[in-house]
Structure 1
Amino acid sequence: MLRNTAGIDAGGSLIKMVYQENGRMHFKKFPINEHDSAISWLKLSVPSLTVSLTGGKSSIIQKKYFPESVIIPEFQATCEGTRFLLEAENKSIGDNYLIVNIGTGTSWHVVKGDKVERILGSGIGGGTFTGLGSLLTKVRGYRQLTCLSEEGNKNNVDLMVKDIYESAESPVNGELTAANFAKGIRMNPSEADRMASLSNMIAETIVLLTSQAATIHQIKSAVIIGSATAGNKPLRHALESYLDMVGVTPVFLEKGEYCGAIGAHLSV
């Protein structure tokens, strides 16, 4: 008889679950502040679970709900989950690549064959989008802010290279950002414009750091994972566009936001 197993990634913003029931893998996520109801739902839906945990709040979940569970280091779980999905989704990118995990913040890992190393971290990520977005607008919630950013025009907020050079010949692409939010004082931009600018600033920052890491480690591909790009078309489009511009091939995984939970689940 097949066991019912689960991997749970309890992070800063979300609790993500990957559970296997009767040989089939399922995916579910909840806001982290709803972890009590999320775990109760899981226990009712899939009884007699064997669980493995990862993420910053995994020890809280372990003590309260699964004292017999094992906690897998977050970076290990994330990278193992990424390897699994690359194979499962038939993404062939060779043995050397970057993993860019855009969650509440962002982490960078370099993969070279069997060796994986975390090389960089930034406080810029999905938490920035939600937190700063709620300060720039009257909107609350990641999905609502994402919808708002789709409606906006960042050019009403950002100072572009073409704005500086006007009719003169620009030494770089005129569509690049010269200064984020620099028009905000005089343009009175809409909330949608502010969110479009914020999304673009996050993408530019992540791509800049990714490009530097790729150059240092002589890597051409970056696997983009994490919850921040799930359902956020403007952010994903900007990441794709800017990464292509700097010569780094972006690879997005269909279930990339669940890499940590998958990695934990693989250890059960």
Structure 2
Amino acid sequence: MQRITAGIDAGGSLIKMVYQENKRMHFRKFPINELDSALSWLKMSVPSLHVSLTGGKASLIQKKYFQDSLIHPEFVATCEGARFLLSAENKVMEENYLIVNIGTGTSWHIVNGDKVERILGSGMGGGTFTGLGSLLTQVQDYQQLTDLAKIGNKGNVDMLVKDIYESAETPINGELTAANFAMGKKLKHTDADRLASLSNMIAETIVLLTSQTAAIHQVKNVVIIGSAIVGNPSLKHGLEFYMNMVGLPTVFLEKGEYCGAIGAYLTVT
């Protein structure tokens, strides 16, 4: 019987699976509240499975579904998956670089040759976008939230530098944020505008932390991964814009949301 291997990353919002069948890697993801049905589907679809687990709910899955599975440390799995994808996608990095993993929250890791270390974490991430976005708009669906953020105008909600200087010449780009959600005299704004402002605030905060971390550790290149930027063009555009502004070359991995699952998968191949 063919030996089929799989890596499963069960985090705060999503369960991500990578499995090998007929010499091909397959990628699947499900909302975490569908964990039971997702794992039942996997066991039925892919028999004779050898599994490695990672993420916050790895122990729960091991106990209930895969008693013989391995549990791989989450941060190690994430970075190993990122390295694998960099090679697979022919993206060459200098020896030292940062990995920024934007999932429910955000983690920063420094890669120095073969050594990987988690150096920073923040509660600002995809969970902030969906949770606070729902509070601001009463919209619950993630796709609707991202679609609205894409068409919104943050300038209808944020106080911009040009709002402070009004007709005077601004010392920096007038479109930059002076204060998130400050509004000032701006009384008219839509759900889309509020979501655009939220997305911008998350992007600004992550880039600010990234640039400070890169300066402290003398790193010049960044790899951004994680589920929060998938299908969220407003957030990704904000990250690209601000990373370019601070002068940090940045790589976005095409399958970056699966780094943890890939790292787990690599331990059983």
TM-score (norm 1): 0.98
Per the TM alignment, residue 169 of structure 1 is displaced from its structure 2 partner at its CA by 1.9
Alignment map for 1:212-251 (pairs within 5 Å): 212-251=212-251
State how far apart, in whole Å, the 2-side matches of 1:186 and 1:37 are: 47
Deviations 1:31-50 (A, max 9, x none): 00100000011111111100
Contact (CA 8 Å) 2:105, 2:125: kept in 1 or not? yes
Measure, in 1, the Cα distance between the counterparts of 2:63 and 2:151.
44
Q: CA deviation at 1:242?
A: 0.1
- Cα deviation code 1:102-126 (max 9, x no counterpart): 0000000011111111110000000
Other-structure match for 1:82: 82
Is residue 96–residue 113 contact of structure 1 (8 Å, CA) maintained in 2? Answer: yes
Shift of 1:247: 0.8
What is the aligned partner in structure 1 of residue 46 from structure 2? 46
The answer to whether the Cα contact below 8 Å between 1:101 and 1:224 also exists between their aligned partners in 2 is yes
Within-5 A mapping of 1:1-268: 2-183=2-183, 186-268=186-268
**Structure 1: gaps of 5 or more residues:** none
Percent sequence identity is 76
Distance of 2:52 and 2:258 partners within structure 1: 14
Question: How far 1:141 moved relative to its partner?
Answer: 2.1
Is the partner of 1:187 in helix, strand or coil? coil
Runs of 4 or more, structure 1, over 4 Å off, are none
Aligned-partner SS, 1:42: helix
Whether the 8 Å contact between 2:159 and 2:184 is mirrored in structure 1 is: no
Tell me the TM-score normalized by structure 2.
Answer: 0.98
Counterpart residue type for residue 195 of structure 1: L
Judge conservation of contact 2:156–2:193 (CA < 8 Å) in 1: yes
State the distance in 2 between where 1:242 and 1:250 align. 11
CA RMSD between the two structures: 1.1
Which letter does structure 1 place at the counterpart of 2:223? V
Q: In 1, Cα distance between the equivalents of 2:78 and 2:100?
A: 10
**Alignment check: 8 A CA contact 2:157 2:186 kept:** no
Residue 90 of structure 1 aligns to which amino acid in structure 2? N
How far apart are the structure 1 equivalents of 2:139 and 2:184? 18
The one-letter code sitting in structure 1 at the alignment partner of 2:14 is L
Displacement of 1:220 in angstroms is 1.2
Mapped contact 1:99–1:111 kept (Cα < 8 A): yes
- How far apart, in 2, do the equivalents of 1:77 and 1:257 lie? 12
Quote the Cα distance in structure 1 between the aligned partners of 2:208 and 2:173. Answer: 16
Number of residue equivalences: 268
Could you report, residue by residue, the CA deviation over 1:165-196 in whole angstroms, capped at 9, with x for unpaired residues? 11212222111100000117741410010000
Three-state SS of the structure 1 residue aligned to 2:91 is coil
What is the CA distance between 1:2 and its match in structure 2? Answer: 4.4
Instruction: Give the aligned residue type for 1:193.
Output: D
TM-aligned CA deviation for residue 29 of structure 1: 0.2
Q: Where does the alignment leave 5 or more consecutive residues of structure 2 unmatched?
A: none
